[in-house]
Structures are given as C-alpha cells and as structure tokens.
Amino acid sequence: MSALDNIRIVLVGTLYTGNVGSACRAMANMGIRHLRLAAPNLQNSWDEGERMAVHATDIMNAREEFATFEEAVADCVAVVGTTAREGLYRQHVKAPRDCAADILALAQTGPVALVFGREDKGLLNEEIAQCTHLIRIPVSKGYTSINLAQAVLITCYEFFTATGEYQPPHEKAPPAPQAQKQQLMKNWAQMLLEIGFMRPEQTEHFMQGFHRVFSRGVFTRDDAALLLGVARQTVWACKHGARPSPEGA
C-alpha cells in the first residue's frame, strides 16, 4: 500500500464548493483520494464544485464531513497544518518539500491529515495548536496568500514526488559509441563538400564547429547560423542539382 493511501486532505471551514472541486482535481492528479470537510461553511451549490472537479467528482462525492476540526482529525497519527501567517507559535514551520518524506513515513503507520484553512482566514490559532506539524509553501514576500485549491495542489505534489513513484521517461536507445560518432562526422563532412557548403581546404575549420554543435547542442547564435547555412545550401543543391562555389557559409 502506498503511503498516499493514508493521507487525508482536511479542508476547514471551506466557503466555496468550486475550491472543493478544484482541490479534488488536484488530489486526483497526485494520487490522493481521501477528502474531509471540517465544519464547512459553504456559500453556494455543489454545481460549481462538480464543474471544477472535472473527472474527480468521485473524490468529491466520497467526501466525509465533520462538525468540528477535532472530529475530522481524531483518528490521525499526525496533523499537518498549512499556514501563511507568522507568529510565536508558527516559527517551526517547514516547506512541504523539507518534511514530506518524514510525514510519509508516519503515514505508513496510520492516517495523516494535511489541513488547509478557510479561504479568508486560514487556520485559527486554536486549530494551529492542535497540529503536530506546520508547513508553509515558499512564496514571494510581496504576496503570500495562495488560493486554497492551488495550495492543495502544491502540497500534494510535494508529497507525491517524495514517494518516488513517478519515473520520468528515459531515452530507450543506448549512447552512441565513439566510433559511430566519428563515422557520422566523416559522412557529414562528405555531404557538406558534395552540396558545396565548403571547399576541401575549409574542412578542418568547419568540422570543428560541427563537432562543437554535435557535442553540446545548438547553444549560441554562431551554432544556429552554422546549421542554418547548411540548411540553405542543402535546399539550393536539391533545387539545382549542382554544386555552386561556396560562399564561406
């Protein structure tokens, strides 16, 4: 079982169903399926929530609702509160990335609550006091407030990444051996001579440039100009079927 199966997203005093739906979509993206609403104070219908959830309505429909924050986290072995505000009792906050692995280890032993406060007030001090951990998403000091659903997405992303479950795609073909690379350069030089891109006495000069491009990619304006020159000369040769006098490209 993945540790993510024991993660509970707890939204406290939520005002708008659209944020709930968007949070469900974020949870689905990151493999987290359990949503709890603590003392919801919803101001609109669930139509907006369903619209924002898109294909994650199953998470929204399976939500659990609790009358109080205490009831929503009563069975959890860790309660991780999110806060953007500073204060005496919020000085031990960590970024989600810095504590996700440790919290996931706790999730192997039982449910863990990731708690998000009200859209307008966040978590109250008495709720913060009941949290075993506090996290704060790093943001610019110029504007520290984050949309509720976006905060859920960022936090869930950090926890999903910390599981190591995601494996990025990798190149299937093995690296080219040096002999193959040298043969490429020989054939490339022959092709450049055939299309009239360079004269034989210019071969060493130009091939040094192509060695650089092939080893590191198109990095500078000179690199791009070199390849553009080949492209133009190739087009000319294809159209005219003859080799012109090179212009030094």
> What residues does each domain of the chain span?
3-163, 178-240
64 sits in which H/E element: strand 64-66
Structure tokens belonging to residue 242: 């003859």
Average pLDDT over residues 224-242: 89
Q: Answer yes or no: are the C-beta atoms of 249 and 228 closer than 8 Å.
A: no
In order of 10, 25, 57, the CA distances from 52 in angstroms are 18, 8, 9
pLDDT in tens, 121-136: 999 989 999 999 999 9
Query: How many Å apart are CA 192 and CA 204, to the nearest integer?
Result: 12
What letter represents residue 207's amino acid?
M
| Distance in angstroms (rounded) separating the CA atoms of residues 2 and 133 | 21
pLDDT in tens, 20-66: 999 999 999 999 999 999 999 999 999 999 999 999 999 999 999 99
Burial of residue 33 (CB within 10 Å: 0-12, 13-18, 19+) is middle
Q: Does the model's pTM come out above 0.85?
A: no
Q: What is the mean pLDDT of residues 206-217?
A: 92
Distance separating alpha carbons of residues 191 and 229, to the nearest angstrom:
13
Domain 3-163, CATH: 3.40.1280.10
Residue 89: pLDDT band (50, 70, 90) is: low
**CB–CB of 159/7 below 8 Å?**
yes
Distance CA 56, CA 61 (A): 9
Using left for φ > 0, alpha for ψ between -120 and 50, and beta otherwise, residue 2 falls in: beta
Site of tokens 């469900």 = 24
